[in-house]
């Protein structure tokens, strides 16, 4: 079964392909099918994920899955939340290449987060992920899964793996930042891994896959 991922993020595609390797689905990025990214106007992860999944499903005429995820910081009232990917203004001198743009945005986001937490003692935060899958654009029974990965925001970046806020979120149970973790460890413990585990169970029980 083909399952279109409502994202053009290559790193997210690889991560989810690994997490769904045991499920008999072919996970393909919407960009490879010429599908534009959907609007994300909502203030909650679940609403945005559902909007993205329905958009991709309508465009491809079949099943789709979407992930809406981000960083929620306790001391900031849950911010950056659904705007995690675009928390800071894009640098004016950012390159035109997609991956270079993402790297520049990540760096700007991390700088802004550290500025807003300057002098703040409560550094508790969590990566959260909501996965939504639909059989078709008008599916009245979308599958919805949630994952949360608790940690603490450091004072400075540590590690060069992963993407986004990975170098800033320290996981006490593992003694490393997300950016310092091997890919296999991240895929076993992450917010997206936890949401994916729920989604795999739902795909088996509701869509009879696997």
Q: What was the pLDDT predicted at 162?
A: 83
Q: Which residues of the chain have pLDDT under 70?
A: 93-95
- pTM for this prediction: 0.89
CA 42 and chain centroid, separation: 16
Q: What was the pLDDT predicted at 94?
A: 66
CATH class name, domain 2-206:
alpha beta
Helices (H), 5-140: 10-19, 45-60, 98-116
* Long-range CB contacts (within 8 A, 24+) of 80-85: 80/109, 80/113, 81/43, 81/45, 82/40, 82/42, 82/43, 82/44, 82/45, 82/48, 84/109, 84/164, 84/165, 85/109, 85/164
- Annotated active-site residue 166? The verdict is no
For residue 197, the surrounding DSSP H or E stretch is helix 191-206
| Closest to 207 measured CA to CA, from 17, 23, 4, 15 | 23
Q: What was the pLDDT predicted at 187?
A: 83
Q: What was the pLDDT predicted at 12?
A: 83
Q: Over the stretch 32-91, which tens digit does the pLDDT of each residue have?
A: 999 999 999 999 999 999 999 999 999 999 999 999 999 999 999 999 999 999 999 987
Phi-psi region of 67 (alpha: psi -120 to 50; beta: other; left: phi over 0): beta
Burial of residue 81 (CB within 10 Å: 0-12, 13-18, 19+) is middle
Q: What secondary structure letter does DSSP report for 14?
A: H
Q: What was the pLDDT predicted at 84?
A: 97
Q: Where exactly are the structural domains of the chain? A: 2-206
| Candidates 67, 68, 106, 166; catalytic one | 68
Q: What was the pLDDT predicted at 95?
A: 65
Report whether 23 contacts 203 (CB < 8 A): yes
First to last CA, the chain: 11
The whole-angstrom separation of Cα 88 and Cα 204 is 39
Q: What was the pLDDT predicted at 103?
A: 87
Q: What was the pLDDT predicted at 97?
A: 77
């Amino acid at each position: 079964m083909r399952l279109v991922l409502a994202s053009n993020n290559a790193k997210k595609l690889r991560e989810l392909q690994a997490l769904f390797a045991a499920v008999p689905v072919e996970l393909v990025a919407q960009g490879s099918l010429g599908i534009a990214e959907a609007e994300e106007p909502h203030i909650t992860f679940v609403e945005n994920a559902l909007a993205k999944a329905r958009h991709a499903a309508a465009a491809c005429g079949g099943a789709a899955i979407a992930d809406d995820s981000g960083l929620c910081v306790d001391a900031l009232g849950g911010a950056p939340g659904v705007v995690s990917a675009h928390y800071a203004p894009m640098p004016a001198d950012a390159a035109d290449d997609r991956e270079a743009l993402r790297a520049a945005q990540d760096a700007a986001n991390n700088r802004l987060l550290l500025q807003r937490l300057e002098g703040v003692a409560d550094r508790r935060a969590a990566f959260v992920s909501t996965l939504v899958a639909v059989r078709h654009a008008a599916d009245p029974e979308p599958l919805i899964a949630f994952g949360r990965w608790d940690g603490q925001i450091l004072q400075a970046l540590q590690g060069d793996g992963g993407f986004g806020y990975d170098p800033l979120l320290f996981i006490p149970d593992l003694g490393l930042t997300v950016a310092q973790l091997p890919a296999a460890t991240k895929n076993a413990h992450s917010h997206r891994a936890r949401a994916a585990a729920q989604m795999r169970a739902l795909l088996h029980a509701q869509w009879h896959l696997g």
